[in-house]
């Protein structure tokens, strides 16, 4: 068993897999510590990747050499781009995955890397020396052991003091039939971290053979699927057989059954006191919050080509099993449906995210990184994005190099990290396109243009990805040169669609993604120019670094609320301080003046020291 590594990744979910993969891409020796190695890459809830804003994250993870995009492309059984009725800035690529094939692909990919060793065990204690993590103590089958490393990434998902709820039944666990990780919560508290409780949930799974499938409204994938990864071979894509989904709905009778049993629902009878995701509520929560609605759509999504399990997207629930059966059999087409697995809610500990910086490193323990649901997020994609960022920076710090954060104008990943370190999360965080003020620039189609050069600078990407970007740039130059001819320019300036673009270049054999980028850049040119000008104006605030030693209490005239927020969050820059809730423009002006006075007074503003190293974001 490995006893020394460059970095230790704790947890084998989507965040852990990406952290280990990113570390290996940077040449780090990685110990991937997980309670059950057979569960690495498991899709615990919805067997799907991507969606609105989430698809952009997957594309960005791929552009930086990550794993999720290639895994989704290799195992997707229905690909569909969402929101295509609107402009490409808000399109959301999504795929339904074969959940078994997906997990197997991830485990196989991890096993293929000689830099990564998977270790069975649960982390029980961090080894700390002079404020920096130097390893972990773990336990497996009653035996304790240590692994030493220069950095550690903690990705616990829903396992920290996890508690499963189905009606009146409560069971400790991070997932069904999997034990919780209680010791790590105690260890984080011992180290001084503030924790809070969050909740998520999952719906029942049905046996497709017992559903009147052909009777229901059909939902098809795209006729020409679009891959997530720039490395996927279009000549043999999609890889797996494609399936359709179906749509049913709840009704007034079902809602009445739910209302009659609210006293047995953990989120209403006091058994669960924590907040769940607002934008993915349980069906019992929907019935209460939207009392005027007589029905809600339910999407029936096959989970695998190997079995008949169907995911009921839209009725996440923790109601008792008997009530779930009434609920399911009240839906059209499901009158005789058999439930293969009942829905449940899971309550778990998370770290309040103001305690990390934009590189995922904790502010109180150098070299300790947090990624995924432990930071209060929800969703595979948000977890994978954090895992990528944490893995990159853990490997960099272990090698004695400067860390790298992404800015809000560089990536959705940058938006997410900035939100996590500037907002007080009272419910699980989910990414939306509306959160990205620069979404015209941060489109899914141009992820490689934005982020692959950064990944190349860091040493993350392989030769294939570098060559793919070079080819893409040549193709974009070819398209733009053609469009800039007088005749073509006249056509483009009139009503012009993506279909027209494809027709213009029909004989050029160019990928549709490259054509989409060229089209979007033309359509949004004026708006993009204005956004870039605004980014340039704001960049000065982002460069004004607030030193670690700065005492906010000494800022004259600062409001009590602003002082409380600044002291709690310890923002890395003036720009970040301005995005804190409870801090207004006047507070920022006073803070800027105080920093200038401090510098003129001969007191050093330690920009290049610890703050510059710790919080470049």
Annotate 437-499 with DSSP letters as a single string.
Answer: TTTTTS-GGGHHHHHHHHHHHHT---HHHHHHHHHHHHHHHHHHHHHTSHHHHHHHHSS--HH
Is the pLDDT at 602 greater than 60, yes or no? no
Residue 231 domain flag: yes
Q: Quote the tokens at residue 428.
A: 């699980």
Number of other CB atoms surrounding residue 482 within 10 Å: 15
Residues 371 and 500 in one domain: no
Contact 157, 149 (CB under 8 A): no
Q: How far apart are CA 260 and CA 252, in angstroms?
A: 12
Residues 223 and 280 in one domain: yes
Q: How far apart are CA 218 and CA 312, in angstroms?
A: 15
Residues 426 and 554 in one domain: no
Residues 523 and 548 in one domain: no
Residue 95 domain flag: no
> Residue 600 contacts by C-beta under 8 Å, 6 or more apart in sequence?
none
Residue 74 domain flag: no
> Residue 498 contacts by C-beta under 8 Å, 6 or more apart in sequence?
515, 516, 519
Residue 70 domain flag: no
Torsion of CA 554, 556, 561, 566, to 10 degrees: -40
Residues 415 and 475 in one domain: no
Residue entry with tokens 């699980």: 428
Residue 152 domain flag: yes
Cα-based angle 62, 68, 69 (whole degrees, multiple of 5) = 50
What pLDDT sits at residue 426? 82
Tell me the backbone φ, ψ of residue 160, rounded to 5 degrees: -70, 110
Share of the chain above pLDDT 70, in %: 94
Last residue of a domain, one of 299, 329, 344: 344
Q: How far apart are CA 567 and CA 240, in angstroms?
A: 52
Residues 19 and 151 in one domain: yes
Q: How far apart are CA 44 and CA 97, in angstroms?
A: 12
What pLDDT sits at residue 606? 39
Is the pLDDT at 11 greater than 50, yes or no? yes
Q: How far apart are CA 517 and CA 234, in angstroms?
A: 18
Q: For residue 298, what are the CA distances in angstroms to 6, 208, 613? A: 46, 15, 48
List the beta bridge partners of residue 94: 50, 80
What pLDDT sits at residue 615? 45
Q: How far apart are CA 18 and CA 8, in angstroms?
A: 13
Output the pTM of the full model.
0.92
For 302-339, how does the pLDDT look when each residue is reduced to its tens digit (9 = 90+)? 999 999 999 999 999 999 999 999 999 999 999 999 99
Contact 247, 312 (CB under 8 A): no
Contact 33, 357 (CB under 8 A): no
Cα-based angle 191, 193, 199 (whole degrees, multiple of 5) = 135
Count up the domains in the chain and report the number.
4
What pLDDT sits at residue 273? 77
Q: How far apart are CA 155 and CA 17, in angstroms?
A: 9
What pLDDT sits at residue 495? 60
For 229-249, how does the pLDDT look when each residue is reduced to its tens digit (9 = 90+)? 999 998 999 999 999 999 999
List the beta bridge partners of residue 93: 81
Residue 62 domain flag: no
Contact 479, 497 (CB under 8 A): no
Q: How far apart are CA 407 and CA 416, in angstroms?
A: 10
Q: How far apart are CA 510 and CA 515, in angstroms?
A: 7
Handedness of CA 360, 361, 364, 370 (dihedral sign): positive
Residues 355 and 325 in one domain: no
Q: How far apart are CA 240 and CA 238, in angstroms?
A: 6
Residue entry with tokens 């006191």: 273
Taking alpha carbons only, the member of 320, 26, 55 closest to residue 153 is: 26
Cα-based angle 407, 410, 411 (whole degrees, multiple of 5) = 95
Q: How far apart are CA 255 and CA 288, in angstroms?
A: 9
What is the average pLDDT value for the chain, to the nearest integer? Answer: 91
Handedness of CA 613, 185, 154, 72 (dihedral sign): negative
What pLDDT sits at residue 278? 72
- The arithmetic mean of pLDDT across residues 14-37, rounded, is 97
For 189-237, how does the pLDDT look when each residue is reduced to its tens digit (9 = 90+)? 999 999 999 999 999 999 999 999 999 999 999 999 999 999 999 899 9
Q: How far apart are CA 83 and CA 92, in angstroms?
A: 6
Residue 335 domain flag: yes
Give me the CATH number covering residue 563: 1.10.150.570
Give me the CATH number covering residue 133: 3.50.50.60
Stronger pLDDT, 501 or 135, i.e. the higher one: 135
- 608 CB-contact burial (10 Å; exposed 0-12 / middle 13-18 / buried 19+): exposed
pLDDT band, very low/low/confident/very high, at 163 (cuts 50, 70, 90): very high
Secondary structure of the chain: what % helix, strand, coil (to 5)? 45, 20, 35
Q: DSSP state, 4?
A: B
Residues 340 and 485 in one domain: no
pLDDT band, very low/low/confident/very high, at 178 (cuts 50, 70, 90): confident
Residues 43 and 111 in one domain: yes
What pLDDT sits at residue 601? 60
Q: For residue 513, what are the CA distances in angstroms to 42, 64, 77, 584? A: 30, 18, 21, 42
Pairing of strands 30-34, 7-10: parallel
pLDDT band, very low/low/confident/very high, at 96 (cuts 50, 70, 90): very high
Q: What is the strand order of the sheet 48-50 is part of?
A: 48-50, 92-97, 76-82
3-state secondary structure of 242: coil
Q: How far apart are CA 187 and CA 490, in angstroms?
A: 66
Q: For residue 9, what are the CA distances in angstroms to 178, 182, 391, 455? A: 19, 18, 8, 21
For 272-283, how does the pLDDT look when each residue is reduced to its tens digit (9 = 90+)? 877 777 767 899
Q: How far apart are CA 434 and CA 437, in angstroms?
A: 7
pLDDT band, very low/low/confident/very high, at 36 (cuts 50, 70, 90): very high
For 517-536, how does the pLDDT look when each residue is reduced to its tens digit (9 = 90+)? 998 998 898 999 999 988 88
3-state secondary structure of 547: coil
Looking at 157-161, 262-266, 270-274, 395-399, which range is the least confident one?
Answer: 270-274
Is the pLDDT at 425 greater than 90, yes or no? no
For 363-419, how does the pLDDT look when each residue is reduced to its tens digit (9 = 90+)? 999 999 999 999 999 999 999 999 999 999 999 999 999 999 999 999 999 999 999
Q: How far apart are CA 43 and CA 202, in angstroms?
A: 12
Contact 369, 393 (CB under 8 A): yes
Residues 216 and 336 in one domain: yes
Q: Quote the tokens at residue 88.
A: 């490409």
Cα-based angle 223, 226, 230 (whole degrees, multiple of 5) = 160
Residues 251 and 320 in one domain: yes
Q: How far apart are CA 33 and CA 8, in angstroms?
A: 7
Last residue of a domain, one of 285, 317, 344: 344
Residues 136 and 29 in one domain: yes
Residue 551 domain flag: yes
Q: Quote the tokens at residue 14.
A: 């989507």
Domain carrying residue 328:
205-344
Q: How far apart are CA 617 and CA 608, in angstroms?
A: 14
- The arithmetic mean of pLDDT across residues 182-188, rounded, is 94
Share of the chain above pLDDT 90, in %: 78
- The arithmetic mean of pLDDT across residues 29-44, rounded, is 96
Pairing of strands 151-154, 7-10: parallel
Give me the CATH number covering residue 214: 2.40.30.260
């Amino acid at each position: 068993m490995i006893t020394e590594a460059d970095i230790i990744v704790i947890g084998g979910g989507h965040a852990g897999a990406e952290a280990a993969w990113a570390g290996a891409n940077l040449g780090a020796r990685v110990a991937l510590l997980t309670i059950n190695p057979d569960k690495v890459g498991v899709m615990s809830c919805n067997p799907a990747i991507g969606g609105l804003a989430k698809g952009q994250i997957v594309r960005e993870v791929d552009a930086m050499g990550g794993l999720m995009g290639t895994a989704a492309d290799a195992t997707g059984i229905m690909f569909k781009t969402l929101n295509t009725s609107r402009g490409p800035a808000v399109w959301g690529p999504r795929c339904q995955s074969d959940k078994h094939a997906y997990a197997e692909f991830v485990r196989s990919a991890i096993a293929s890397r000689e830099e990564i060793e998977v270790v069975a065990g649960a982390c029980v204690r961090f080894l700390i020396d002079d404020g920096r993590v130097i390893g972990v103590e773990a336990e497996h089958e009653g035996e304790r052991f240590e692994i030493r490393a220069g950095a550690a990434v903690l990705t616990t998902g829903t396992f920290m003091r996890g508690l499963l709820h189905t009606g009146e039944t409560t069971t400790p666990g991070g997932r069904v039939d999997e034990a919780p990780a209680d010791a790590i919560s105690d260890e984080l508290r011992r180290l001084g971290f503030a924790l809070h409780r969050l909740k998520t949930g999952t719906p029942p799974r049905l046996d497709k053979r017992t559903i009147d499938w052909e009777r229901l409204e059909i939902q098809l994938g795209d006729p020409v699927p679009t891959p997530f990864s720039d490395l996927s071979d279009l000549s043999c894509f999609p890889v797996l057989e494609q399936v359709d989904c179906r749509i049913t709905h709840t009704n007034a009778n079902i809602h009445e059954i739910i209302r009659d049993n609210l006293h047995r629902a953990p989120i209403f009878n006091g058994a669960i006191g924590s907040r769940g995701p607002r934008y993915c509520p349980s069906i019992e929560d929907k019935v209460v919050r939207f009392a005027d609605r007589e029905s809600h759509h339910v999407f029936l999504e096959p989970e695998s080509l190997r079995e008949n399990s169907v995911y009921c997207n839209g009725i996440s629930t923790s109601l008792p099993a008997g009530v779930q059966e009434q609920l399911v059999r009240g839906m059209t087409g499901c009158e005789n449906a058999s439930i293969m697995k009942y829905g449940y809610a899971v309550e778990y500990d998370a770290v309040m995210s103001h305690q990390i910086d934009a590189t995922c490193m904790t502010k109180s323990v150098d070299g300790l990184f947090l990624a995924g649901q432990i930071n209060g997020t929800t969703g595979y994609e948000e977890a994978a994005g954090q895992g990528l960022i944490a893995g990159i920076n853990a490997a960099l710090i272990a090698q004695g190099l400067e860390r790298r954060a992404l800015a809000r104008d560089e990536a959705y990943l940058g938006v997410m990290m900035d939100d996590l370190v500037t907002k007080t999360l009272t419910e699980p965080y989910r990414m939306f396109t509306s959160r990205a003020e620069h979404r015209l620039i941060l489109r899914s189609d141009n992820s490689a243009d934005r982020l692959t050069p950064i990944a190349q600078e860091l040493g993350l990407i392989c030769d294939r990805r570098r060559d793919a970007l070079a080819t893409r740039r040549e193709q974009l130059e070819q398209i733009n040169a053609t469009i800039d001819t007088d005749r073509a320019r006249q056509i483009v300036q009139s009503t012009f669609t993506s279909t027209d673009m494809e027709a213009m270049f029909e004989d050029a054999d160019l990928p549709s993604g490259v054509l989409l980028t060229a089209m979007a850049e033309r359509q949004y040119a004026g708006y993009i120019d204005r956004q870039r000008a605004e980014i340039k104006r704001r960049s000065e605030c982002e460069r004004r670094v607030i030193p670690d030693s700065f005492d906010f209490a000494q800022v004259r005239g600062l409001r009590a609320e602003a002082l409380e927020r600044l002291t709690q969050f310890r923002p890395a820059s003036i720009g970040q301080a301005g995005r804190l809730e409870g801090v207004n423009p006047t507070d920022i002006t006073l803070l800027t003046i105080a920093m200038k006075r401090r510098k003129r007074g001969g007191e050093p503003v330690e920009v290049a020291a610890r703050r510059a190293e710790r919080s470049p974001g």
